[in-house]
Amino acid sequence: MNLNSIDLGDFIDLERYPVHQLDSEQGRALIGRCQKMMAAETICVLPGFLRQELVDKLVMEITGLQKEVRKVDYLSTIYGWMNNEGFDNSHPRSQLLRRHCGVITTEQLDPEGFCLQLFQFDQLTEFVRRLLDYETLYRSACPHISVRINTMDSGEEFGWHFDTNDGVVSFIIQNADNGGLFEYVPLIRSEEDENYTGVKRILDGADSPNQADLPPGTFSLFLGRRSLHRVSPVENSAHPRQSLLFSYDRLADMVFPEKIQKRLTEPTSEPFLGALTTDS
Ligand SMILES: O=C(O)CCC(=O)C(=O)O
Ligand SMILES: [Fe+2]
């Protein structure tokens, strides 16, 4: 065992999830099990992935950054990467949903802290690459959004949307006492078929989404560019919901478009109409 895998074992429960030995029988079985989950549900949920001691340390690290948290509160398009001009009022492309939460971005984190150390493990990146079945996968190089923390207090919510990239890994660090549930609709859109009717049925409450059960320390990998999702409002909670989000990309050196970075680093109450929309 090399030094790196000893460190990795301090972070991840390697007996249960042998991400350091993906070519072993147990490693291959793990990948097979995860890929089945991805195929069926577009979400791979691995409870107990992070060691409890690490979860406790992450709660402390994130709670210790409470003063750094930037509150965002704005209305956002569901389709952040598109130009959403010219749709009528009832069309999903013209809907604006509320994003009201606290954000901590990469440059605010301690380089020696647990959040960034976890992101740096090549074995974790390789694990995610195999789950996505991509030929290459790189940690995003975005100075602001490659690693990001969402914190949500009572009354806050993160409305329905698609992500601008696939390959977001999230770890639930702390759940709210009530609400703050991750709700999602697997594979509701594709690049070939936007399925606006299906999206509208969810927005109107005509169809119900799935709800993920994510105890603290759970790893989840989610195809958020194809699967509509939200975090439901947090209600009456003694502490915030905390999630830690890692971004990856098939291409090296991926940084998010400036408009998307600014949304998190320079909060404004202006609605976000989409990265390609001319007037936002
Ligand atoms: O906080 C979460 O669990 C997910 C939030 C989310 O969907 C996002 O930031 O794009
Ligand atoms: Fe998302």
For residues 271 and 213, what is the distance between their CA atoms, to the nearest angstrom?
31
pLDDT digits (tens, 9 = 90+) for 211-233: 999 999 999 998 899 999 999 99
Residue 182 near ligand 1, beta carbon < 6 Å: yes
The pTM is what?
Answer: 0.93
Q: Residue 169 — φ and ψ, nearest 5°?
A: -100, 135
In a domain, 215, yes or no: yes
Average pLDDT, the chain: 93
Nearest CA residue ID for atom 6, ligand 1:
230
In this prediction, residue 5 carries a pLDDT of 45
Q: Which CATH number covers residue 181?
A: 2.60.120.620
Ligand at minimal distance from the CA of 162 is 2
In a domain, 144, yes or no: yes
Residue 195 pLDDT more than 60?
yes
Q: Hey, which of 231, 244, 246 would you mutate to test ligand 1's pocket, going by the most ligand atoms within 8 Å of its Cβ?
A: 231
In a domain, 179, yes or no: yes
Nearest CA residue ID for atom 8, ligand 1:
163
In a domain, 118, yes or no: yes
In a domain, 43, yes or no: yes
Residue 158 near ligand 1, beta carbon < 6 Å: yes
In a domain, 270, yes or no: no
Atom nearest to 241 CA in ligand 1: 1
Residue 229 near ligand 1, beta carbon < 6 Å: yes
pLDDT digits (tens, 9 = 90+) for 157-170: 999 999 987 778 99
Residue 150 near ligand 1, beta carbon < 6 Å: yes
In this prediction, residue 2 carries a pLDDT of 46
Ligand at minimal distance from the CA of 99 is 1
In this prediction, residue 279 carries a pLDDT of 57
Domain that holds residue 185: 3-265
Residue 52: left if φ>0, alpha if ψ -120 to 50, beta else—which one? alpha
Domain count, the chain: 1
Atom nearest to 243 CA in ligand 1: 1
Residue 266 pLDDT more than 80?
yes
In a domain, 280, yes or no: no
Ligand at minimal distance from the CA of 102 is 1
Q: How far, in Å, is the centroid of ligand 1 from the Cα of 229?
A: 8
pLDDT digits (tens, 9 = 90+) for 4-51: 444 899 999 999 999 999 999 999 999 999 999 988 888 899 999 999
In a domain, 203, yes or no: yes
Q: How far, in Å, is the centroid of ligand 2 from the Cα of 257?
A: 16
Residue 154 near ligand 1, beta carbon < 6 Å: no
Nearest CA residue ID for atom 7, ligand 1:
230
Q: How far, in Å, is the centroid of ligand 2 from the Cα of 161?
A: 6
